[in-house]
């Protein structure tokens, strides 16, 4: 990020994270620095086990680093209470997962509504936001369908609508196309890109899919827990 550019939404500074698997100590991240500013669509690239999902978990305030800092809008999230961290995730961050993480017995509408209900948003406001989010991802006619009545691509669009429903500062997507065929996966990524271009939605997407990487204006490469490349390309026309 240029010195005179806007302040980052999310920043990792010298972040380290290790896990113990049996008797083996695995260093998932080894001093990673990364900043994401408003309006970016950044792909975090790397093979399975490279540390990209660990990085998203830390930036998404789902886990804590062993060393280093994670800052959201320049606030060190490690200094927040658990209640404050939960509130931050619920109100300011959006999440899209490989496995969709939808509640099977709830309709598309109810899945998208659920985080607003947890946050105490009034019924009329919930209805407005949910319908708007589902229309935004092209599912305005499928809102009463349960996940088992939707295709994989539609389920991931419901997941995206749920991530967008509270107008987050950034959406973090961990391998969002890995459970989809290549054509459906590309259509989901095209939706991310359209929202980024037309609405300025900020995305950080972990992936190993080269088709997904090709649609991002900036990509960072993780290997063996280290950030080894950070490159930008010309913005792709919508």
pTM across the whole model: 0.91
Mean confidence (pLDDT) of the chain: 91
pLDDT of residue 233: 58
15 near 58, Cβ under 8 Å? yes
Looking at residues 68-81, what average pLDDT do you find?
94
CA angle 160, 56, 70 (to 5 degrees): 125
pLDDT of residue 178: 87
Q: What are the chain's domains?
A: 38-61+81-220+227-232 (3.40.50.300)
Tens of pLDDT, residue by residue over 86-140, are 999 999 999 999 889 999 999 999 999 999 999 999 999 999 999 999 999 999 9
Tens of pLDDT, residue by residue over 159-175, are 999 999 999 999 999 99
Of the chain, the percentage scoring pLDDT greater than 90 comes to: 76
Other residues' Cβ atoms within 10 Å of the Cβ of residue 62 = 15
pLDDT at 56 > cutoff 60: yes
Which residues are within 8 A (CB) of 109 and not within 5 positions of it... i.e. 6 or more apart? 130, 131, 134, 143, 144
pLDDT at 230 > cutoff 70: yes
38 near 32, Cβ under 8 Å? no
Looking at residues 185-207, what average pLDDT do you find?
92
pLDDT of residue 42: 95
Looking at residues 195-202, what average pLDDT do you find?
93
pLDDT of residue 236: 43
Phi, psi of 234 (to 5 degrees): -60, 140
pLDDT of residue 237: 41
pLDDT band at 1, cuts 50/70/90? very low
pLDDT at 27 > cutoff 80: yes
Window from 77-91, 99-113, 224-238 with minimum mean pLDDT = 224-238
pLDDT of residue 94: 96
pLDDT of residue 235: 45
């Amino acid at each position: 990020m240029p010195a005179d550019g806007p302040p980052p939404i999310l920043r990792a500074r010298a972040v380290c994270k290790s896990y113990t698997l049996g008797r083996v100590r695995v260093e998932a991240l080894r001093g990673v620095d990364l900043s994401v500013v408003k309006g970016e669509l950044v792909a975090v690239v790397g093979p399975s086990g490279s540390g990209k999902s660990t990085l998203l978990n830390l930036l998404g305030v789902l886990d804590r680093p062993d060393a280093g800092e994670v800052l959201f809008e320049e606030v060190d999230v490690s200094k927040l209470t658990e209640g404050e961290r939960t509130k931050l995730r619920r109100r300011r961050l959006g999440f899209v997962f490989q496995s969709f993480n939808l509640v099977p017995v709830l309709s598309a509408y109810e899945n998208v509504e659920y985080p607003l209900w947890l946050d105490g948003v009034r019924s009329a406001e919930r209805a407005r936001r949910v319908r708007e989010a589902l229309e935004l991802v092209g599912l305005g006619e499928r809102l009463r369908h349960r996940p088992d009545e939707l295709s994989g691509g539609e389920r991931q669009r419901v997941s995206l609508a749920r991530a967008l429903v509270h107008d987050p500062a950034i959406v973090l997507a961990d391998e969002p196309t890995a459970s989809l065929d290549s054509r459906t996966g590309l259509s989901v990524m095209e939706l991310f890109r359209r929202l980024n271009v037309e609405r300025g939605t900020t995305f950080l997407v972990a992936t190993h899919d080269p088709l997904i990487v090709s649609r991002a204006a900036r990509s960072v490469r993780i290997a063996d827990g280290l950030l080894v490349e950070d490159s930008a390309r010309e913005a792709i026309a919508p």
